[in-house]
């Protein structure tokens, strides 16, 4: 998975609790992305980062925040998890704007 790890790989939590997912890369790529994958929707972009401390919203950013304090780490936080955020979350990286994205192994999150 191109030097990308995600943690945790599985998590079950309760509605209203905060959750943080971590993406770690060893490729020193500039761009990092968080997607969610749901049946019938493919992959949808939540947030992305184009450098340390540089982040922006994607198409489904409501209820999510991100932080990138180091090149290698991109954190996704659900401040107060809801059942609609039950999904599989994928991190992706790309070296430049040459369009190739490499995906991590994913985190399966269940919000009860």
User: Residue 66 in contact with residue 77, Cβ under 8 Å?
Assistant: yes
* Nearest distance, CB of residue 106 and another protein, angstroms: 5
Contact residues for another protein, defined by CB under 8 A: 1, 4, 31, 40-45, 48, 50, 56, 90, 92, 94, 97, 99-106
User: How many whole angstroms separate alpha carbon 102 and alpha carbon 104?
Assistant: 7
Please report, for residues 5, 61, 109, 110, the alpha-carbon distance to residue 106 in angstroms, rounded to integers and kept in the order given: 8, 18, 10, 13
Of 78 and 106, nearer to another protein (C-beta) is 106
CB 15 → another protein: shortest distance, Å? 26
Task: Output 81 or 106, the one with its CB closest to another protein.
Answer: 106
């Amino acid at each position: 998975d191109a030097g990308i790890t995600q943690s945790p790989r599985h998590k079950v939590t309760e509605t209203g609790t905060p959750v943080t997912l971590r993406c770690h890369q060893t490729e020193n790529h500039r761009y990092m992305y968080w997607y969610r994958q749901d049946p019938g929707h493919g992959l949808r972009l939540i947030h992305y980062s184009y450098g340390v401390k540089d982040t922006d919203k994607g198409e489904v950013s409501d209820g999510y925040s991100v932080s990138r304090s180091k090149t290698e780490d991109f954190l996704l936080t659900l401040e107060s998890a809801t059942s609609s955020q039950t999904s599989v979350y994928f991190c992706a990286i790309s070296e430049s704007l040459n369009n190739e994205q490499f995906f991590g192994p994913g985190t399966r999150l269940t919000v009860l």
